[in-house]
Every structure is written in C-alpha cells, then in structure tokens.
C-alpha cells in the first residue's frame, strides 16, 4: 500500500485527562460526570497543517578518506506542527488559552480575551482528517493523523486589509501544535498492548488509515444505562471493537451489543460506574 495526501478536512481536539484518556470538550477533564458522552470538538476551518521535520543527530565514523559507518543517536525529536485556520473560532481560542467565551456581559456581543498570566497549559489529543489516494488500488481513503499528547498556542492573529481582487482565505490565523510522548493511544489503549513496536511503548503521533475520516468520543459509564448516543452518525455498524469502530473500556479493546448508523445509538451492557469507554470511529460527520 502506498498513498498520497490530497487535502485537509476536519480537525478535532479533545482535552486529555491525567491518565491520557480523551475527554472531548470537557475543560475539566479529570472531573467527568458519569453517564455522559464527551465528543471531540470539531473545527471545519483548518486549511493547512505542515509538520516540521523530525531531528535526530547522525553519528558518522570517517577515516582514511572514507566513511566507515553511520548510525543515529538514540531518540528523535518530533517536529512541531504549524497549522492554519481561515476563520477565528472563539471556543477553540478559549480552550487553548484557558479562558471563557463571555456572552453574558453584553448579550449581543461575544467577548474573548488573551490570558497573559495563564498559570498552566491544557493538554490535548488532536486529530487531523486527511483525504488520501491509494496509488496501488486507485481508491480514495482517509488518514487520521493523531497527536495523543499535545499543547497548542497561537502564533499569529488574523489581520485585515483592503481586498482589491479575487482572493482565497485572506488573513489566516496561525497556530503551532507541540507534541510530547504518550504511553496511551487516542483510542484509550496503551501502546504497550498494541502492535506498533515503538521503543519504550510510547509515541508522539499515530496514523490511522481507513475508508472514512475518524471521530473520537468518550462515554463515562454510570453503571446502569445500556445505551448512549454518539455525536455523529457512525459510517459502519461493526460492533466487535477491533474492526471499523475501535472500542475500548478502561484501555482494553472489547465489543458492544450494537451500533446504529442512523441514530448513533450504541447499545452495550453497562459495566462499572466511571468506566471509560472510548470510540474512535469512522463517520461522515452527520449529526443524528
């Protein structure tokens, strides 16, 4: 299999709790409410992302006018990930600056501010859905590039100027994602239990290739309810947990009873209260 990258589609972010689990748009990720679904926040205004090159020190052995050997020093430093939005999203801005979108001070205005005395930086799980083309089969597919432990900061505000002719995406806003190692995949599973073979069972980026763009949702079990509803309709109804819709409970892959592609309802047998059920699933981003 070999594929080329075609275009950037949805971008999504989820707050990351202290154990590495995704908690959707919950700004207090270590304090979820049982019986609640937390879906990743979707941005449809991402127009480009361009990861910097990884850096890894090369070690060469030269003598007698020839190179006798080459290796690399242990460990590569993952490059930062600059990305561009073509519109300002107040909610996203509030998430990354640990502020609040104020709609109460003046009911006809939305107010956001910076946070120059921000004391801590929120951690996110971030996904970029990218349409690809498989040159072996001739089919279009999707890659979801996921950073399971990242921080985000804005690097350039959107400006303004006189437009004198046709223009596409003027005055974009620039951001940078800075990744760190994670022992846990966005899917909820530990890398030590997966087959990627990464040294030390850690990773800074995941690439999931498949037939559909992926979305990330977490359900926190209340110990009694037998159903919950996903934020977007799943494209496929596979309920095994190990194919199509990836499903984990407290980090372990497992099945559910059923997944409805029309209503987005997931049917399962309730386990323990506060159990964390994570679905990384294909969708066309249609709300049930």
- pLDDT tens-place string over residues 9-52: 999 999 999 999 999 999 999 999 999 999 999 999 998 888 87
Average pLDDT of 116-129?
94
32 domain residue, yes or no: yes
Structure tokens at 172: 């974009």
Q: What is the pLDDT of residue 74?
A: 67
C-alpha torsion sign, points 101, 107, 108, 113: negative
271 domain residue, yes or no: yes
59 domain residue, yes or no: no
248 domain residue, yes or no: yes
With vertex at residue 116, the alpha carbon angle to CA 111 and CA 120, rounded to the nearest 5 degrees, is 105
Q: Give me the number of domains the chain comprises.
A: 1
Indicate whether this model's pTM tops 0.95: no
Longest CA–CA separation in the chain, Å = 77
**Tokens 């959707």, residue?**
24
Domain range for 240 is 3-53+78-162+170-282
Q: Tell me: the pLDDT tens digits for 125-163?
A: 999 999 999 999 999 999 999 999 999 999 998 888 887
Closest CA to 123 of 95, 155, 90, 93: 95
Q: What is the pLDDT of residue 54?
A: 78
Q: Which residues of 66-82 are buried (b: 16+ CB within 10 A; e: fewer)?
A: eeeeeeeeeeeebbebb
9 domain residue, yes or no: yes
241 domain residue, yes or no: yes
Q: Tell me: the pLDDT tens digits for 46-85?
A: 988 888 777 778 888 899 888 889 888 766 677 899 999 9
> What stretches of 1-45 adopt beta strand conformation (E)?
3-15, 36-39, 41-43
Determine the Cα–Cα distance for residues 148 and 32; give it in Å rounded to an integer: 19
With vertex at residue 167, the alpha carbon angle to CA 164 and CA 171, rounded to the nearest 5 degrees, is 95
Q: For residue 272, name the pLDDT band (cuts at 50, 70, 90).
A: very high
73 domain residue, yes or no: no
68 domain residue, yes or no: no
Determine the Cα–Cα distance for residues 270 and 208; give it in Å rounded to an integer: 28
């Amino acid at each position: 299999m070999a594929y080329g990258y075609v275009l950037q589609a949805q971008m999504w972010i989820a707050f990351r709790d202290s154990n590495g689990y995704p908690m959707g748009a919950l700004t207090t990720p270590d304090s979820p409410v049982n019986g609640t679904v937390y879906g990743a926040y979707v941005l449809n205004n991402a127009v480009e992302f361009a990861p910097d090159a990884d850096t890894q020190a090369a070690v060469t052995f030269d003598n007698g006018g020839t190179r006798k050997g080459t290796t690399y020093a242990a460990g590569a430093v993952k490059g930062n990930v600059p990305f561009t939005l073509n519109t300002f999203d107040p909610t996203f801005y509030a998430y990354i600056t640990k502020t609040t979108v104020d709609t109460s001070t003046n009911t006809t205005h939305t107010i956001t501010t910076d946070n120059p005395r921000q004391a801590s930086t929120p951690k996110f799980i971030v996904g970029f859905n990218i349409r690809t083309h498989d040159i072996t089969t001739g089919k279009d597919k999707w890659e979801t590039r996921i950073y399971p432990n990242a921080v985000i900061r804005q690097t350039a505000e959107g400006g303004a100027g006189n437009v004198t002719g046709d223009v596409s995406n003027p005055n974009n806003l620039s951001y940078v994602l800075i990744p760190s190692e994670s022992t846990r995949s966005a899917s909820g599973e530990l890398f030590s239990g997966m087959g990627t073979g990464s040294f030390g069972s850690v990773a800074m980026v995941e690439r999931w290739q498949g037939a559909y763009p992926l979305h990330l949702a977490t359900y926190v079990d209340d110990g009694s309810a037998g159903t919950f509803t996903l934020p977007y309709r799943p494209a496929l109804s596979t309920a095994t947990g190990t194919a199509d819709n990836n499903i984990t409970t407290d980090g372990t892959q497992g099945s559910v009873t059923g997944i409805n592609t029309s209503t987005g309802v997931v049917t399962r047998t309730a386990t323990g209260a506060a159990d964390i059920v994570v679905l990384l699933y294909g969708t066309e981003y249609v709300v049930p």
